[in-house]
Chain A
């Protein structure tokens, strides 16, 4: 992933192709519309495929050939993935599909170019829809203090997530995933949980900064996260995680394929296909494909075991304790998601496989020594605890803030609004405290946002 000035031509090609396609689709009738749409999609996916997947396909073909002892006619090319390619390609493709479905095209080339290149979300989303962003680009903007203040607050919250939590946890995760053979299962599992929060805070932190920056300028971008780790099922997780991508796949792939209004087996196929492509969207690697397939598998499994799970709930009576039942479901969902993250984070399949097969080691010793703090300390001493501690405290702050935000949102407010209604000195003290916390415990290195590579 890189920014290379000449690669701007890719962006301009995307803009040009989809701008013209939009107008032509609007002016055409019958099959011609579908043909233009198909040409636009083929061009978009062709560029994405070449820059993102060519070397992956070529190296796999080469491996296959070498397996059979043949010489391979396909060679890899020195291609560098342009920054934000997957994001703006999908955003632009979404536009042509919407026009095909009846939306009026954008005739102003500057406005359309701005829609594709809107810089706060250009490199890592949220993947916007024309019905939201394109409309706003043509509306007059008020220079509104409240909007600016809200935007800046959201940006500060994004920096908190990225600098204090994500980049701290990255130290632990990089250390363990860099040499997993040095660690027992307890540590491998801990690092995986750390990664779950690292990627959440990294990506949602970026999203907050992007949404905040857009809000300062008077634009409302779509929501991309909604406390995903409080999901009580995997399907709910996908309604709360990277919402702009999962809803893109839902609207432009899953539903056109028939969604769940098809035969049972076709429905399963649709699910697997969507998640396979979702995995592939993240990166040209088998680890991402497996990650997507695991999530697709979870959803199919949840459909198959629905009756069985209900029976277990009835037999155990756990349904009579709704809080406990909910906590149990959230915990199991979280563990399932974390298991899949192993494949997302591991550099290759063999490393992921090593971690999966060694996850269970070391737990017995830990459980036996639960009453001896020194033994527990020894178990976790290989983790960089001074780096981890502020991140853990910050995660608690993050989740509490999320809880209050949700609670007050239901009452028509939201954490930021509630804070805004407090006396000015309390309010500013809270802002300063957050600022100082970021200054004190932020990791001001050069750690890039994880999703920049997609």
Chain B
């Protein structure tokens, strides 16, 4: 059978010194041209996606960028971070928090919408590379269960892919979420953003003004987020004109169930995060975002997940009633999930109060009436 196969592989000619020299130059040149083409088209896709991605994705990426380029301190030494998904992004306002604590802390809302704890862990590490670690972290552990929920991988793919510039970070997501597409989509973002590429190409040719307008809108959004120190009210998702749910709004109600809680063993990054914060001497306060009145039933005792995490890590805290579900009126929500600005003020003050009590910042130093 081997006799049937005759090799005639003459891709490059190495017969004499001159041709060998020629090929030594030629092969790297061809590879470089290929790399150039590849990077150009990838850059084009990233540029297109930066125009059409939703606000949450843009916030995610820009926060990662701000942290990497060491721009979030802005002459104030931040010692408290808020971390969580979009519920915390829209729920905790650093200005009000600092004010209520009479300047005992300087906070920044580092929440990356829609993302589990993994990207927050890497974001925090990026921050600590250039800065002294914060003293406190106020964190909501979302219920995406990493390796179990395929949702987590999908969200990381979409929201954080281009925001992360570290191959190591993306490789670790791919491994721990058992999702090779996280890495593949980072290398080939067009697989995820083909619609954006189409719109970008078409509008660049025929409606350039549209692109300029969207870029301006995105810039306004980012400026607002930076000014509000990471807090962002997702106005575009508000369902009703006055940005408040009507009192009779009753979508997504589970009155006979308790709200979902994180699972401490389901996400490898949870352990990494707590070990890292412990090693850096950071105190971590666990919080839960509020829900609409009647949306869930109240817990009768402290859930096992809280007990487990408090036993395992010595730097984790929870307010005496922090495990209980907070129920707010519909008027404090802009959509079924997120707080509006009034709701965020109320929630921030409530958390500030718990924070002050727990860390003995003293009622005299706490501006809560």
Residues in chain A within 8 A of chain B (CB atoms): 140-145, 385-387, 389-390, 424-425, 428-429, 432-433, 435-436, 439-444
- 0/1 string, B39-57, CB within 8 A of A gives 1: 0110011000000000000
Judged by a CB distance under 8 angstroms, whether B216 is at the interface is no
Please pick, from A140, A424, A441, the residue contacting B197 in the complex, using a CB distance under 8 A: A441
Q: In the complex, which of the residues B6, B191, B195, B202 contacts A142, with contact meaning CB atoms closer than 8 Å?
A: B6
How far does the alpha carbon of A443 sit from the alpha carbon of B205 in the complex, in Å?
Answer: 20
A126 to chain B, nearest CB (A): 25
Instruction: Give every chain B residue within 8 A of A439 (Cβ-Cβ).
Output: 41, 188, 190
Chain A residues positioned under 8 Å from B10 (CB to CB): 145
Please determine whether A143 and B41 come into contact, CB atoms closer than 8 angstroms.
no
**CA distance in complex: A386, B205 (Å):** 10
Query: By CB atoms of chain B within 10 A, which of A145, A433, A440 has the most?
Result: A440
Q: Do the beta carbons of A425 and B30 come within 8 Å of each other?
A: yes
Chain A residue at smallest Cβ distance from B40:
A436
Using Cβ atoms and an 8 Å threshold, which residues of chain A touch B9?
143, 145
List residues of chain A with CB within 8 A of the CB of B33.
Answer: 425, 428-429, 432
Instruction: Point out the residues of chain A lying under 8 angstroms from B195, CB to CB.
Output: 386
- Given A425-B29, A425-B30, A433-B37, decide whether A440 and B4 contact each other with a Cβ distance below 8 A: no
**Interface of chain B: mostly helix, strand, loop or mixed:** helix
Contacts of A141 in B (CB 8 A): 4-5
Contact of A436 among B3, B4, B38 (CB under 8 A): B38
CA distance in complex: A387, B202 (Å):
8
Q: Knowing A386-B202, A387-B198, A443-B194 are in contact, say whether A428-B34 is a contact too (CB < 8 A).
A: yes
* Interface hits, B196-214 → A, CB 8 Å: 197-199, 201-203, 205
Question: What is the CA–CA distance of A144 and B191 in the complex, to the nearest angstrom?
Answer: 34
CB pair A143 B5 closer than 8 Å: yes
Residue B11 at the chain A interface, CB threshold 8 Å: yes
Which of B11, B26, B198, B201 meets A145, CB within 8 Å?
B11
Shortest beta-carbon distance from B181 to chain A in Å: 11
Determine the chain A residues whose CB is within 8 A of the CB of B166 once the complex forms. Answer: none
Known: A424-B30, A436-B37, A439-B190. A143 touches B8 (CB 8 A): yes
The secondary structure that dominates the A interface is helix
A424 to B25, CA, bound (A): 12
Closest 8 CB pairs of A and B: A386-B202, A386-B198, A432-B37, A140-B4, A436-B41, A144-B8, A143-B7, A142-B6
- Bound: A425/B44 CA distance, A: 23
Give how many B residues have a beta carbon under 8 Å from the other chain's beta carbons: 32
Task: Scan B2-29; emit 1 where CB is below 8 A from any A CB, else 0.
Answer: 0111111111000000000000001001
Q: How far is the CB of B203 from chain A (nearest CB, A)?
A: 8
Tell me the residues in window 164-220 of chain B with beta carbons closer than 8 Å to chain A beta carbons: 188, 190-191, 194-195, 197-199, 201-203, 205
A389/B4 in contact, CB under 8 A? no
In the assembled complex, how far is the CB of residue A219 from the closest CB belonging to chain B, in whole angstroms?
13
Complex alpha-carbon distance, A441 and B3, angstroms: 44
Contact pattern, B 96-137, Cβ under 8 Å of A = 1, otherwise 0: 000000000000000000000000000000000000000000
Pick from A385, A386, A429, A442 the residue with the most CB of B within 10 Å. A386
| Nearest opposing residue in chain A for B7, CB measure | A143
Chain B residues whose CB sits within 8 angstroms of the CB of A432 once the complex forms: 33-34, 37-38
CB distance from A375 to the nearest CB of B (A): 16
Nearest-Cβ distance from residue B82 to partner chain A, whole angstroms: 38
Contact with B199, one of A386, A425, A435 (Cβ below 8 angstroms): A386
Check A435/B37 contact, CB under 8 A, given A145-B9, A424-B30.
yes
For B197, list chain A residues within 8 Å (CB): 440-441
A residues less than 8 Å from B11 (CB atoms): 145
In the complex, what residues of B have CB within 8 A of residue A142's CB?
5-8
Q: Is the CB of A440 within 8 A of B34?
A: no
Q: How many whole Å from A45's CB to the nearest CB in chain B?
A: 37
Assess whether A140 is in contact with B194, with CB atoms less than 8 Å apart. no
Determine if B190 and A440 form an interchain contact, defined as CB atoms under 8 angstroms apart.
yes
Q: Is B37 in contact with A440, judged by CB distance below 8 angstroms? A: no
B3: chain A residues at CB < 8 Å are: 140
Which chain A residues border B198 with CB–CB below 8 Å? 386-387, 389-390, 441
Bound CA span A440–B195, Å: 10
**Complex: how many Å from CA A87 to CA B37?**
40
Chain A neighbourhood of B40, CB < 8 A: 436
Q: With the chains together, A145 CA to B38 CA distance in Å?
A: 25
**What residues of B have a CB within 8 angstroms of the CB of A144 in the complex?**
8
> Taking the nearest CB of chain B, how far is it from the CB of A241, in angstroms?
30
* Cβ–Cβ < 8 Å partners of A143 in chain B: 5-9
- Ordered by A's residue number, 8 sampled pairs between the chains whose C-beta atoms are within 8 Å are A140-B4, A142-B5, A143-B7, A145-B8, A424-B26, A424-B30, A428-B34, A433-B37
Interfacial chain A residues near B202, Cβ < 8 Å: 385-386, 389
What would 16 more interface pairs be, CB under 8 Å, given A145-B9, A389-B198?
Answer: A140-B3, A142-B8, A143-B5, A386-B195, A424-B26, A425-B29, A425-B30, A428-B34, A432-B37, A433-B37, A436-B41, A439-B41, A439-B188, A440-B41, A440-B190, A444-B194
The CA-CA distance from A117 to B197 in the complex, in Å, is 40
Among B44, B45, B191, B201, point to the contact of A444 (Cβ < 8 A). Answer: B191
CA A130 to CA B72, docked complex, whole Å: 72
How many whole Å from B69's CB to the nearest CB in chain A? 29
Residues from chain A with a CB closer than 8 A to the CB of B30 are 424-425, 428
Is the Cβ of B201 less than 8 Å from the Cβ of A390? yes
A358 to chain B, nearest CB (A): 28
Report how far A177 CA is from B239 CA in the complex, Å.
34
Residues of chain B within 8 A of A444, CB atoms compared: 190-191, 194
- Residue of chain B at shortest CB distance from A385: B202
- Bound CA span A389–B358, Å: 60
B203: A residues at CB distance < 8 A? 386
- The answer on a CB contact under 8 Å between A140 and B44 is no
* C-alpha gap A386/B51 in the complex (Å): 15
Bound complex: CA A130 to CA B203 (Å):
53
Residues of A within 8 A of B8 (CB): 142-145
Task: Report the minimal beta-carbon distance from B132 to chain A, rounded to whole angstroms.
Answer: 44
Which residues in B have their C-beta under 8 angstroms from that of A428?
30, 33-34
- Name the distance in Å between B49's Cβ and chain A's nearest Cβ: 12
Complex interface: chain A residues within 8 A of B191 (CB): 444
B-side contacts of A440, CB under 8 Å: 41, 44-45, 190, 197
Task: Tell me the smallest distance from the CB of B52 to a CB of chain A, in Å.
Answer: 11
With the chains together, A384 CA to B44 CA distance in Å? Answer: 21
> Please, how many angstroms separate the alpha-carbon atoms of A433 and B36 in the complex?
11
Q: How far is the CB of A395 from chain B (nearest CB, A)?
A: 16
